[in-house]
Structure 1
Amino acid sequence: MSYIKVGQDTNGQDIRLHYTDQGQGSPVVLIHGWPASYEMWEYQLAELPKHGNRVIAYTRRGFGQSTKTWEGHDYDTLADDLKAVLDELDLQDVTLVGFSMGGGEVARYMSRHGGARVGRVAFVAAVTPFLLQTDDNPDGAPKATFDKMVEGIRKDRFDFLATFGKQFFGVGTLSHPVSQATLDWMQAMCQIASPRATEQDVYAFAATDFRQDLKTIQVPTLVIHGSSDETVPLKVSGGRMKQFVPHAQYLEYDGAPHGLFVTEKDRLNQDLLAFIGVQGAAGTAPRGY
């Protein structure tokens, strides 16, 4: 397995991030969502490298096969980890693709590190611009919503993940957009995260305000969000992104749930390829361009 060292913890132990590096050509870095690992990009890792792209996906600290740290579950640290990945692999003119929580890393990296090495950015079902309800963000979710999530994690993390997975993919009594096998795959991926990271990152993506970070973005930007996303609702996230990144290209996937990297995998791959500058199999540009 391949790892990148991004620093040391307070006990002097190395912190290493698990990653995969596939294909050759234009560099694309995929940043996963909570509480998964880079393996969630199964269908993107299988397709994007076929079209002249070098695709790197890594797992943030605390999740998957990366080092399980006690501290460092804040976006400044996570943006610094992303910088370490880009620097170690000496990537230039990168396309950053952040899904859900990963969109926060993209936003914070662009402001904290001046967008170094980055040529374009994509926010897919991302938590940006700001999820928490405050006096100046009245449409956000109440703190109690996130407290309830943490309470569920502490009570029975595995049962929480099972319920969360169904909402994540839009599974209901009459709706089955993914198989039970896919739900099991996602459950297994998420449950190997450390309980500490699983809990602390809820507060990170809930309470971090990315509005000023987003205003620093000058590179081409793509925003993709599902209209039926119940995990990160459109109206408080993707639907507001153009307020802060006016030049962003916005694509709304009608009826898509949060886990659109699986449920809408073919369309997502095509839209990402067109944004990167590579025509997909059908040779069409994404709607909204």
Structure 2
Amino acid sequence: MTSAFVARGSGHGLFVRDWGSGPPVLFLAGWAMDSRIWGETMLRLNAAGLRTVAYDRRGHGRSTDWGGYDYDALADDLATVIESLHLRDLTIVAHSGAGGEAMRYLARHGSERVSRLVLVGATGPRIMAAPGEQGVTPQQLDFLCARLAADLSGWIDDNIQPFAPGSPSRVNDWMAAMVMDCSRRAVVQFQRTIAEADLTADAAAIDVPVLILHGDRDASAAIDASARRYAEIIPHATLQVYAGVAHGVMVTDAARLAADIAQRIAR
């Protein structure tokens, strides 16, 4: 098992965990989380004969903090990791807002190296309200971003429990510390990217099989507005609903998640 930094120009780098051997699976953590959140899932897939790779997004974890947090920039970071590690026949597993990174990567860089995509609790395809529709308003987004900038600890106290209901207090403290350790600039700017993006065209253009895994108790990405919409838009998509499961699937249901990913790769 190894860890290293992938260079990203001008002295910056992305911290990468690269474990095991076999067909590669690359994990993308959601907003304000880093590669550590995938640890149990990665080890389970190593035991199933798969190589697992995860990296900290810019401004997250041990990666450096530079540039912007729009999906184009983040997709290009993903491309750099994939190319630097010479990954092919790749399965990408993306959680929450990282689904946009994966879809934008496919739109910008193509699917030559990617065999399949797994979306876990993915947000989108559009969160902001269009005229006459329900959704987040610009005023609500501005209020949220202002609170994340000035009262991140208070926001965490209000929201950490619904992420992975029933988790031990030590796990909640670990996840809260992960968010607090994230660059505050990244927290705010990536949240705005997620909320303002319209991923409809990216999703409709995906040309690899997609497995959508989503809990029906997900308070961060309501299943009807996200997973079911993706299942309608994405060609060759399969939706699998986790009954009674919330947003933090890799925390509460890592064994099931790993088994479903391994089964999909084995097909």
TM-score scaled by length of structure 2:
0.95
Out of 15, 18, 23, the position equivalent to 1:21 is: 18
Residue 139 of structure 1, CA deviation: 4.0
In structure 1, the partner of 2:34 is 37
Q: Is the 8 A contact 1:3 1:17 kept in 2?
A: yes
Q: Is the 8 A contact 1:35 1:190 kept in 2?
A: yes
Out of 126, 146, 165, the position equivalent to 1:151 is: 146
1:62–1:80: structure 2 CA closer, same or farther, 3 Å change rule? Answer: same
After superposition, the C-alpha distances for 1:192-213 in whole angstroms (9 at most, x for unaligned) are: 1111010001110111111101
Aligned partners of 1:139 and 1:237: how far apart in 2? 13
Out of 141, 158, 165, the position equivalent to 1:163 is: 158
Aligned partners of 2:249 and 2:179: how far apart in 1? 17
Code of the residue aligned with 2:6 in structure 1: it is I
In structure 1, the partner of 2:259 is 270
Out of 34, 53, 58, the position equivalent to 1:56 is: 53
> Could you tell which deviates more after superposition, 127-136 or 17-26?
127-136
> Could you tell which deviates more after superposition, 159-168 or 252-261?
159-168
* Shift >4 Å, 4+ stretches: none
In structure 2, the partner of 1:4 is 6
1:17–1:225: structure 2 CA closer, same or farther, 3 Å change rule? Answer: same
Code of the residue aligned with 1:259 in structure 2: it is G
* Runs of at least 5 residues in structure 1 that lack an aligned partner in the other structure: 9-13, 171-176, 279-289
Q: Is the 8 A contact 2:206 2:235 kept in 1?
A: no
Q: Is the 8 A contact 1:139 1:236 kept in 2?
A: no
Q: 1:62-211, aligned counterparts within 5 Å?
A: 62-69=59-66, 71-135=67-131, 138-170=133-165, 177-211=166-200
1:239–1:141: structure 2 CA closer, same or farther, 3 Å change rule? Answer: farther
Code of the residue aligned with 1:166 in structure 2: it is Q
After superposition, the C-alpha distances for 1:157-176 in whole angstroms (9 at most, x for unaligned) are: 12222322122224xxxxxx
Q: Is the 8 A contact 2:91 2:116 kept in 1?
A: yes
* Runs of at least 5 residues in structure 2 that lack an aligned partner in the other structure: none
Code of the residue aligned with 1:159 in structure 2: it is G
Aligned identity (percent) is 34
